[in-house]
Amino acid sequence: MLKNFWYAVEFAHEVTRRPRRVTCLGQDFVLYRKRDGAVVCLSDLCVHRGAALSEGKLVGDEIACPYHGWQYRPDGGCTKIPANPAGRGIPKKARVDSYPVREEYGMIWAFLGDLPEDERPPIPHFPEHEDPAFRAVYVQMVIEANYERTFENVVDAAHTPFVHGTRFGNPDKPEIPDYEITQDDWSAVADISLSPPPAKGLWKRLYKGVPEEVIATNGWFLPNIVKLHVRLPFGDMILYDHNIPLDRNRTLVKIVGYRNFFTGGWADRDARKRIASILLQDKPVVESQRPELLPYDLPDELHLRSDALQVAYRRRRQQLMADGWWLGEDDHMTVNGKRGSATVIPSPARRENPELARAWQHRARGAAPIPAPVPASKTTVPDDAAETADKTADRGVTEGVSE
């Protein structure tokens, strides 16, 4: 899984003044809108005792933990600890990760990494969103597979005649002519010729004969987005496929689909049904792939010229992994052993404040800590243990939080 990218984590219309939990890269986040409509993205984990902030409530533009009422600003800093007596300060380490947010193309994007603003990769440009000739629909589905498998599936033109032969592939003409790729650091795109099947249902009314070929523009945008543009005789269908990694083995696919035909609301249901049917055709095949995770080395799987878009992605992926953009072992915290580790996605505040770099971290949900060995000299509890604990609490020191 790649960090230091803008991830589209939710449909914009789903985010309101009510806190909403989303998951990406194995980590839970809470989204909500401030009173001015701007969206906030915080780690969904109160630093005090690990309660989900998404179960809390908003107090103005701040979010209050449902467990002990700790309140956090949009930048992640804690502003209120109700249990503190009057006059007692708030530890500077009492904060949660806050991530930069943008609202673009009907999606909420969170930057999951710690790069300065001028070093961040761009959000892809989807021109159809601002074009009044197009109408959008929104579809989502969970696939029990790694996001790179679902991602590569969409740029795999050669599978369409066999998996989607009843939709936009023709099993009688499965050949994929060689194609050229236009690529930069963050994307790759190609025009690919496909033989279509006979039209059925509603679309058949607009066909004046089946064309011998259909040109599909297929491409990917890092870290996890695929574009599919199919030119039909009566208009264009463009799908932007966001493959959100819930964890290493589960993907939430969110699709924004645009069309410049049948643009009335009456056709939305049919458009959503057609997109969902394509996902349902892909789902069992992708879920059956082995190995579950994409191999690192190119020779580990056999590639053909028709796989050129996938190969371009894997080569760029190797470069980014070498540059340290892979979410790996360095992004896991260990608590009394490996069973207590949790994915920790760095936020800008950690880079800006090095002393806080590992200040607010927790073990994974459901992970049981492995007891640390206790030296023989410390097997008994000293008489002053309670007094020591009281003094520690008075200093405002808790596990992972100190003044």
Last residue of some domain: 88, 119, 150?
Answer: 119
281-323 per-position pLDDT tens digit = 999 999 999 999 888 888 888 898 989 999 999 999 999 999 9
Q: Once rounded to an integer, what is the mean pLDDT over residues 189-217?
A: 72
Which residue range forms the structural domain that includes residue 250?
Answer: 127-321
pLDDT of amino acid 95: 92
User: Within a domain: residue 173?
Assistant: yes
- Same domain as 142, residue 110: no
User: Within a domain: residue 333?
Assistant: no
pLDDT of amino acid 288: 94
User: Within a domain: residue 74?
Assistant: yes
Last residue of some domain: 103, 119, 135?
Answer: 119
- Same domain as 101, residue 15: yes
User: Within a domain: residue 369?
Assistant: no
- Same domain as 249, residue 163: yes
Q: Quick one: three-class SS letters along the chain? A: CECCEEEEEEEHHHCCCCCEEEEECCEEEEEEECCCCCEEEEECCCCCCCCCHHHCEEECCEEECCCCCCEECCCCEEEECCCCCCCCCCCCCCECCECCEEEECCEEEEEECCCCHHHCCCCCCCHHHHCCCCEEEEEEEEECCCHHHHHHHHCCHHHHHHHCCCCCCCCCCCCCCCCCEEECCCEEEEEEEECCCCCCHHHHHHCCCCCCCEEEEEEEECCCEEEEEEEECCEEEEEEEEEEEEECCEEEEEEEEEECCCCCHHHHHHHHHHHHHHHHHHHHHHHCCCCCCCCCCHHHCCCCHHHHHHHHHHHHHHHHHHCCCECCHHHEECCCCHHHCEECCCCHHHHHCHHHCCCCCCCCCCCCCCCCCCCHHHCCCCCCHHHHHHHHHHCCCECCECC
- Same domain as 105, residue 60: yes
- Same domain as 165, residue 90: no
| Res. 157 pLDDT band, cuts 50 70 90 | confident
- Same domain as 309, residue 181: yes
- Read off the CATH number of the domain in which 283 is found: 3.90.380.10
Last residue of some domain: 321, 351, 367?
Answer: 321
pLDDT over 90, % of the chain: 61
- Same domain as 136, residue 249: yes
- Same domain as 190, residue 115: no
User: Within a domain: residue 362?
Assistant: no
- Read off the CATH number of the domain in which 90 is found: 2.102.10.10
Looking at the structure of the chain, the number of domains it has is: 2
User: Within a domain: residue 355?
Assistant: no
- Same domain as 113, residue 136: no
7-61 per-position pLDDT tens digit = 999 999 999 999 999 999 988 999 999 999 999 999 998 999 889 999 999 999 9
- Same domain as 160, residue 64: no
- Same domain as 200, residue 100: no
